[in-house]
A and B are shown apart, each in its own frame.
Chain A
Amino acid sequence: MHIHKESDIIPQPRHRLTTRLWHWINALCLLVLLMSGLTIFNAHPRLYWGEYGANNDYAWMAVGSSERIGYLRLGDMRIDTTGFLGNWQDSSGRTQTWAFPGWATIPSYYSLADGRRWHFFFAWIFSFGLTLFMIRSLWNRHIQSDLRMRRQEWRPSNIWRSFRDHSRISVIRQSWDKPYNVIQKLSYIGVIFILLPLMIMTGLTMSPAMDANWPLLTELFGGRQSARSLHFIAAFLLVLFFLIHMLMVLLSGPLRQTRAMITGGQARGVDK
């Protein structure tokens, strides 16, 4: 392997300007889209598979309230969620029976029209942002050089080692300026190229006018209600990604990591 001398390397920040800009715009968009999306979900807190689904049809997931008990039902399993889902107190102490509580929604009170306005406005910014980021990152080879999986990285031993590394704080702490490991690569690829486009496409499928224009999209997801379910599942996979992402940032040095995502940070280390 040929190793460049330090003087050979063109100084390259750890995070490119496009990456940093998109990261923060996208973070804001996803937060607003999630919270306004929960407002929209509150209008009908039931999820179905297939093309149709309404109150008389079987919902594989439902949030509700009966006799002052809030619950989440998943298939046949009913979980008491009083205080959190389905039955909770608002900031003035009144009991509310909307599915998601006010602190998780935009606006914090129930307004379907306002929730939709927030959602669709930020959906445009989110979609443009993602598209531009993808094009730019292919063009400047960020994806090819930093996220592309090398053949040897697919080896189970390598993936297993990466999993083990993620359970060791000392390794995480040292990893902050290393090239992305296999789990990071797969997560980022999964989010950028699968989950985020899936959010846009399942979102479009819920629009009756889009269904008239692009009926194949609806068929691809197995119907409008399936698309709605997938939209919700993908949103919560993104929440899961966010939580692990936050944990990793906290464990690997939150200040230097955040600073690097704002200023660009120092050059990436050479391959191990």
Chain B
Amino acid sequence: MTILTRRKLITSAAIGAGGLLTGCDALTRNPAFQHVLASAESANFTVQRALGDRMELASEYQVADLSPVFRANGTRDPGTSDYAASAAQGFADWRLRLTGLFVRPQTFSLAALQSFPQRTQITRHDCVEGWSAIGQWTGVPLKLLLDIAQLQASARFLVFHCADRLGGRPYYESIDLLDGSHPQTILAHRLNGEPLPVANGAPLRLRVERQLGYKQAKYVTGIQAVASLGGIGEGKGGYWQDVANYEWYAGI
């Protein structure tokens, strides 16, 4: 009796485990259930924004803390002839275009961006995959550019357009105005005291330090101020969000 019961118990546990797995996959593919799971993500966003100062700085480190090698991920070279030509002349012809809901849309050359007051910060880059690298970034605070171009009252998000394509689609990312005006949010053109390497997003990449790596758009060519993310890409606010369902808010 006891043996039979135990065997039954073990068998049903095994069946249960198998059923659980198939069940979980079915649930994962169910849009309504996905909606329930994703509700935790908006809780993460709300709670993390509510904790402490909304402008809290990410930890900054010392030169001694730098990663020996700063890992490059995603696109390591946009690979287009335009990009190669620009790289060949030190990106002298690179332009950053501020478009959309700005009072005074602007175009900046790399030299112009470098002539503004700069910010240098040693921060930790956390990839959604789990690895981290510490690097020293120098660049122009985004807030400074927003003050020059002046956002229209209806602007809610900043969309970063990039020169690279992944899987045939243009890479893009977006942040809200709170992160856009955060003091550590910069458009970096130097890494560890050297001009930004091609693999890390030369000549300009976004640093938005309180979010994960996929938000740190590389090869930035334009910033578009929008009222909603609906009309851009597939509407989820970024390449990985559109392609692989990553969360728009990447604070966790």
Contact = CB atoms under 8 A, between A and B. Distances in A.
Interface of A: 31-32, 35, 40-41, 43-44, 46, 51-57, 102-103, 106-109, 111-114, 116-118, 120-121, 123-124, 206-215, 218, 224-225, 228, 250, 254-255
A246 to B, nearest CB: 9
Given A52-B124, A56-B71, A211-B59, A121 B37 contact: yes
B209 interface: yes
Nearest to A250: B6
B6 to A, nearest CB: 7
A213 B126 contact: no
**Which DSSP category, helix, strand, loop or mixed, fits chain A's interface?**
helix
A211 to B, nearest CB: 6
Given A53-B131, A108-B24, A208-B209, 6 more contacts: A41-B130, A51-B132, A51-B134, A121-B36, A208-B58, A211-B58
Contact of A209 (B71, B127, B130, B211): B211
A109 B26 CA distance: 12
Nearest to B182: A212
B37 to A, nearest CB: 4
18 contacts: A51-B65, A54-B67, A56-B71, A57-B69, A112-B129, A112-B244, A116-B247, A117-B34, A121-B40, A206-B252, A207-B48, A208-B209, A209-B251, A210-B48, A213-B52, A214-B51, A224-B124, A254-B9
Interface residues of B, number: 53
Contact of B210 (A41, A114, A208): A208
B28 A52 contact: no
A54 B41 contact: no
Interface string B35-61: 011111101100010011000111101
B245 interface: yes
Given A56-B69, A209-B210, A43 B40 contact: no
B31 interface: no
B3 to A, nearest CB: 12
